[in-house]
Amino acid sequence: MSKRLRSSEVCADCSGPDPSWASVNRGTFICDECCSVHRSLGRHISQVRHLKHTPWPPTLLQMVETLYNNGANSIWEHSLLDPASIMSGRRKANPQDKVHPNKAEFIRAKYQMLAFVHRLPCRDDDSVTAKDLSKQLHSSVRTGNLETCLRLLSLGAQANFFHPEKGNTPLHVASKAGQILQAELLAVYGADPGTQDSSGKTPVDYARQGGHHELAERLVEIQYELTDRLAFYLCGRKPDHKNGQHFIIPQMADSSLDLSELAKAAKKKLQSLSNHLFEELAMDVYDEVDRRETDAVWLATQNHSTLVTETTVVPFLPVNPEYSSTRNQGRQKLARFNAHEFATLVIDILSDAKRRQQGSPLSSSKDNVELILKTISNQHSVESQDNDQPDYDSVASDEDTDLEATASKANRQKSLDSDLSDGPVTVQEFMEVKNALVASEAKIQQLMKIGRSALVTSSSSLPSFPSTLSWSRDESARRASRLEKQNSTPESDYDNTPNDTDPDDTGSSRKGRQRSMVWQGDGSVPDTAEPHTAPSPILPSTEDVIRKTEQITKNIQELLRAAQENKHDSYIPCSERIHVAVTEMAALFPKKPKSDTVRTSLRLLTSSAYRLQSECKKTLPGDPGPPTDIQLVTQQVIQCAYDIAKAAKQLVTITTKENNN
């Protein structure tokens, strides 16, 4: 542990004396009152630690102290330092201000809205600006100038930026130079210690080669931070990474819950998650562990002479706008797990993380999962649908609000891979695919600008466990500014696109995914190819495919809004517009594509559009046959739209890969 705070140090937000908390990703020290506001913002805005009562990796605390002592706060209050700001009436909070609304409003403006951060001159191409900033970061991390790097990160530089000419990331550079504090800062902003450079070496390799043994050991700790934190939460011990022990799996003193059929079923369904979705669940549990531990410190250090104060505990994880409404609701529901239930979940995650890291085969279960985390708790029955909990934030959804809805949607990826008709898809589930589609398009566009070398690196940036678990624990910190959010290439929340390069795919699962893309209909849907046409290897440009995909996405959004608002008379016109957009996209491709994957994706795209029109016509009042079950029709409509989005996203991915080969 490095030196303790000097008495001259003051709160970065209100200038109050003797701050006892730190905002790690902002490089500032803050007082109790201001910390209560930071905690309510969420870890994606501010990651707080108590300076005395929270365990600190020594170099992480040293990094925060260095930033604070070198004026990191001026990054977040840049415009307030201008004398003109006094004339305009803008000022920072002071110790005498009330927490609400005075301090809270200032802190939200400072960190959430970034109202006082220096703005770069406007340019036509923001992605070029982000690339330039990232190159500056890549160069700066070889020095000890931490505040310069934090400023670049605040403006939108990417901690995981892969330099197309140098063939490595900023963390490779910092590790080679032995800059351990720079490595800490990059890791806080999401840098991945497991990323390989163009030579196949990781930052850990360069640290060891350079004789920077402390840095190498710290990078390994960062790589396993998520699972280490979960284990320490339960048993107060961490693995001995130096001697090759990378996991500790605590045991329950009372194993009755572990042996129950509900817990066994939950564990089996947890194992069926893809690596990406398992990683997201683990990240959410990590955040809940942080909330519970910080609450314990908070309660132990507060003045309890009054029962009601302006500063209180955070009852559940704050909403992260970068996440879907379903995921946010699921994160909040984690707070309802009692200690025994939550410990069981943590142990299951630790066990499965170890299994995945060691490459053990995935579960072969093909169940259509409707409940996962619910079964861990012996207080909730399968039939329970607690949708009206008044103590949870409203996050723009009035259905599927239970935590298990998040897991249900996550597990649907597996069931969809087996059989597209495996069950109805909810509006929330479809929105996840739509969000993934938009994120994928943004990522593809930036990859095209960076060039093939970055594309190759991106395709290999799906590191095996536990690397993915650790670096993404603070993925939201990489979105610290609006500019960064515009220029970044965020990891998709729920990327359901089949990808033959996924590290967790076995040969059999890849075959299953290819089969799942063909709609098993009644055979009446026309094929996209003509029988006497010679196969063509020519594919349309990626730009054209993306443009048409955006048009499809826009039309599908209108359909979803109609479904959510029960405007059933809008189904038919929406389906017609989607059909037109799908037809135009299919026309971009040759009559008979040479690639089997393109053919199956086009078949899914066009057949789903035909099926969508057929389902929507059932809403007509004069439709013959038995009375229409409008809820069933809506479910089928959403399922069709889901399949269309999935196929369109697959075509974007295929054309991008082929056109860059």
Average pLDDT over the chain, rounded to whole?
A: 74
β-partners of residue 50 are: 21
Last residue of a domain, one of 56, 87, 112: 112
Question: What pLDDT sits at residue 436?
Answer: 55
φ, ψ for residue 250, nearest 5 deg: -65, 160
Question: What pLDDT sits at residue 617?
Answer: 86
- Residue-wise pLDDT tens digits, 103-117: 999 999 999 999 999
**Eight-class DSSP state of 557:** H
| Residue 338 placed within a domain | yes
Omega cis (within 30) before 318: no
Low-confidence winner among 142-151, 184-193, 579-588 (lowest mean pLDDT): 579-588
Question: What pLDDT sits at residue 119?
Answer: 78
Answer with the residue of higher pLDDT: 311 or 40. Answer: 40
Q: Parallel, antiparallel, or unpaired for β 21-23 and 28-30?
A: antiparallel
Asked whether residue 17 falls in the same domain as residue 46, the answer is: yes
| Residue 394 placed within a domain | no
Q: What is the rounded end-to-end Cα distance, in angstroms, of the chain?
A: 51
Asked whether residue 573 falls in the same domain as residue 628, the answer is: yes
Rounded CA-CA distance 414/424 in Å is 14
Residue 7's contacts (CB-CB under 8 Å, 6 or more residues apart) are 17, 18
Last residue of a domain, one of 48, 79, 112: 112
- Residue-wise pLDDT tens digits, 447-498: 444 433 333 333 333 333 333 343 333 433 433 333 333 333 333 332 333 3
Of all residues in the chain, the percent with pLDDT exceeding 90 is 39
Burial 608-627, CB ≥16 within 10 A → b, else e: bbbbbbebbebbeeeeeeee
Of all residues in the chain, the percent with pLDDT exceeding 70 is 65
- Asked if residue 568 has pLDDT above 70, the reply is yes
- Asked if residue 145 has pLDDT above 50, the reply is yes
DSSP 385-426: -----TTS---S-SSS-SHHHHHHHHHHHHHHHH-TTSS---
Asked whether residue 164 falls in the same domain as residue 75, the answer is: no
- Residue-wise pLDDT tens digits, 281-298: 999 999 999 999 999 998
| Residue 422 placed within a domain | no
Asked whether residue 76 falls in the same domain as residue 159, the answer is: no
β-partners of residue 10 are: 17
β-partners of residue 49 are: 22
- Cβ-contact 227, 353 below 8 angstroms: yes
Asked whether residue 638 falls in the same domain as residue 563, the answer is: yes
- CATH assignment of the domain containing 19: 1.10.220.150
Number of domains present in the structure of the chain: 4
Asked whether residue 133 falls in the same domain as residue 107, the answer is: no
For residue 624, name the pLDDT band (cuts at 50, 70, 90).
low
- CATH assignment of the domain containing 138: 1.25.40.20
Asked whether residue 183 falls in the same domain as residue 218, the answer is: yes
Question: What pLDDT sits at residue 569?
Answer: 84
Asked whether residue 102 falls in the same domain as residue 133, the answer is: no
Asked whether residue 213 falls in the same domain as residue 282, the answer is: no
Count of Cβ atoms closer than 10 Å to residue 122 Cβ: 7
Answer with the residue of higher pLDDT: 643 or 375. Answer: 643
For residue 137, name the pLDDT band (cuts at 50, 70, 90).
very high
Range of the domain at 350: 261-359
Asked whether residue 354 falls in the same domain as residue 324, the answer is: yes
| Residue 470 placed within a domain | no
Question: What pLDDT sits at residue 339?
Answer: 87
Taking residues 363-389, what's their average pLDDT? 37
| Residue 523 placed within a domain | no
Asked whether residue 187 falls in the same domain as residue 290, the answer is: no
- CATH assignment of the domain containing 581: 1.20.120.330
Alpha-carbon separation of residue 182 from 144, 160, 172, 212, 257 (angstroms): 7, 13, 11, 13, 44
Rounded CA-CA distance 106/335 in Å is 28
SS3 30: strand
Nearest alpha carbon to residue 26 among 3, 4, 45: 45
- Asked if residue 537 has pLDDT above 50, the reply is yes
User: Which amino acid appears at position 549 of this protein?
Assistant: T
| Residue 273 placed within a domain | yes
Count of Cβ atoms closer than 10 Å to residue 66 Cβ: 18
Asked whether residue 39 falls in the same domain as residue 102, the answer is: yes
Question: What pLDDT sits at residue 306?
Answer: 45
pTM confidence score: 0.58
| Residue 187 placed within a domain | yes
| Residue 66 placed within a domain | yes
Alpha-carbon separation of residue 606 from 375, 519, 582, 587 (angstroms): 38, 10, 7, 11
Last residue of a domain, one of 243, 270, 287: 243
Answer with the residue of higher pLDDT: 568 or 173. Answer: 173
Omega cis (within 30) before 535: no
361-367 contact pairs (CB < 8 A, 24+): 361/506, 362/271, 362/272, 362/504, 362/506, 362/509, 363/268, 363/271, 363/272, 365/268, 365/269, 365/271, 365/272, 365/414, 366/414, 366/415, 366/418, 366/419, 367/269, 367/272, 367/415
